[in-house]
Structure 1
Amino acid sequence: ANQEPIHVQIRQRKGRWIGHTLRKEPSNVTQQALDWNPQGKRKRGCPKQTWKQSILDKLRTTGLTWEAAKKHANDHKKD
């Protein structure tokens, strides 16, 4: 079985999904979900981290910014 580890596959798929989502129209619900900021309080010990925040953390480790990711997604050409 010549498969990549699951954590590598998940990281790659998240990257493809975020690129796919960033290319959608701003009125699209998935595009709006990226900018959604949940309100209210969480139980103690439960951080209020959005999916976008987790993506931003990963981008920082690679040296990219959110704007650079958006630009890269919009420059993407389908083969």
Structure 2
Amino acid sequence: DNQSRNRRLGLALAEGKSLEEARQSVGEVLEGVDSTRAVVNLARRHHIEMPIAEQVHRVLSEHISPLEAVKVLLARSAKPE
């Protein structure tokens, strides 16, 4: 179901579009972008590891590819989370 704005954003990013291009293709408010930034900042402030949120934030703000973010996550040492 492609009715979710944030899902459509993710699909556009996965296609290789920049954040700005993805935003334009969705054409609606994307609260997930700002929410991700807020969650990551709060986690950092409280010294909480949130590896998936960190990588989503990197894709959105540091212009790394979704594939690179997945590689970083898969390279992590296995541990209970």
Please state which band the TM-score falls in when normalised by the shorter chain: under 0.3
TM-score, normalization: structure 2? 0.27
Tell me: higher relative CO, structure 1 or 2? Use CA pairs within 8 A at least 6 residues apart. 1
Q: Which has the higher helix share?
A: 2
Structure number with bigger Rg:
1
Compute the TM-score of the two structures, normalised by the length of structure 1. Answer: 0.28
